Amino acid sequence: MQLEQAIVISQQPIQGGYSLLHLRSPGIASQVRPGQFVHIKIPRLEECVLRRPFSVFRADGDTLTILYKHVGRGTRGLKDTKLGETLSLIGPLGHGFPSPQKDCFPILVAGGYGMAALYLVAKQSPVKGIAFFGGRSAQDILCVPDFEALGWTVRVATEDGSLGQQGLVTALLDDWLERERTNETPEFFVCGPSGMLKAVASRAIARAWTAWTSVDNNMGCGVGACLTCVLKVKSGEDWTWARACKEGPVFNAADILWEEIE
């Protein structure tokens, strides 16, 4: 974890309200592990007192890439950054994904920009597995070629049917599990909206498979100090709070109290 002044190398709007931001950030880029995130101070946005968290999508040499969706004033401010401008980053933060187990078959499940948290998992996995990407429409299915280039299979579902199978990504996953799955035990790496996390978690838990879920809780400090980002996890018979920014964002699905998550 460090404070780093990163330099904007390039800004690349991609499809439908998403952009890639390439940053020179040698300290963080060399340290980051899959599923970790950076906490970014949006320049000029004086009236916003919080940073914004983004998964590290790619890390190549001294360069970090984040992939972000334009949702509000912070991400609008990120779009307004200029080439050569300096951004203050804290990172790498959080407890990311473990390495896929060698004797399991790794399955990535992503909703929308959730795939950004999974690229490094795919890259560092000893086994090439399969990735399921879901979104509202074709616009929300991002960077499939990047995953394919790593030798992974990618399957797509969109709610409006504009790309891949029509419907939820979990239905696509269910089909695959039923019809195409090999004998290997699946191990899931999941990132996306909480409804999707919940759905994948319930499938995995029911069959005693391991699922690693990355939660997208609102954050304050990003380093474990403010207790904004907490969620309920099991603690023996009882529950306790875990910090998404510190103990997470990746949790073993078996540990989360899913019934408490909206």
Partner 1 sequence: MTPNLSTNIGGIQMKNPVMTASGTFGYGPEYAELVDLNQLGAIVVKGICLNETKGNQTPRTAEAASGLLNAIGLPGPGVAGFVREYMPFLRQYDVPVIVNIWGKTIEEYVEVAARFDSIPGVAGLEVNVSCPNIKEGSALFGTDLKMFERVVKAIRNATRLPLMPKLAPNVADIAEYARCAEACGADAISLINSFPAMSVNIETRRPMLANKTGGLSGPAIKPIALRLVWLAAQAVKIPVVGMGGIASAEDALEFLMVGARAVAVGTASFIHPDTALKVVRGIEQFLAEKNLATVADWVGAFDP
Ligand X SMILES: Cc1cc2nc3c(=O)[nH]c(=O)nc-3n(C[C@H](O)[C@H](O)[C@H](O)COP(=O)(O)OP(=O)(O)OC[C@H]3O[C@@H](n4cnc5c(N)ncnc54)[C@H](O)[C@@H]3O)c2cc1C
Find which of partner 1, ligand FES, ligand X, none residue 88 binds, CB within 5 to 8 Å per kind: partner 1
State yes or no: residue 90 binds partner 1 (CB under 8 A). Answer: yes
State yes or no: residue 1 binds partner 1 (CB under 8 A). Answer: yes
Q: How far apart are CA 197 and CA 258, in angstroms?
A: 9
Find which of partner 1, ligand X, a copy of itself, none residue 33 binds, CB within 5 to 8 Å per kind: none
Which tokens sit at 219?
A: 């954050």
Q: Which is nearer to partner 1, 172 or 242 (CB)?
A: 242
Q: How far apart are CA 169 and CA 147, in angstroms?
A: 17
DSSP state of 195: H
List the Cα angle 205/108/257 in 5-degree steps. Answer: 35
Strand partners, 11: 21
User: Out of 26, 27, 167, 220, which residue is the one contacting partner 1 (CB under 8 A)?
Assistant: 220
Binding mask 213-242 for ligand FES (x = CB under 6 A): ------xxxx-xxxxxx-------------
Q: Which is nearer to partner 1, 58 or 246 (CB)?
A: 246
Which tokens sit at 123?
A: 């890259």
Find which of ligand FES, a copy of itself, partner 1, none residue 127 binds, CB within 5 to 8 Å per kind: none
What is the SS3 assignment for 10? strand
Which tokens sit at 93?
A: 């933060």
State yes or no: residue 73 binds ligand X (CB under 6 A). Answer: yes
Judge contact between 23 and 7, C-beta under 8 A: yes
Interacting residues toward ligand X by CB under 6 A: 37, 52-55, 66-69, 71-75, 113, 116, 216-219, 249
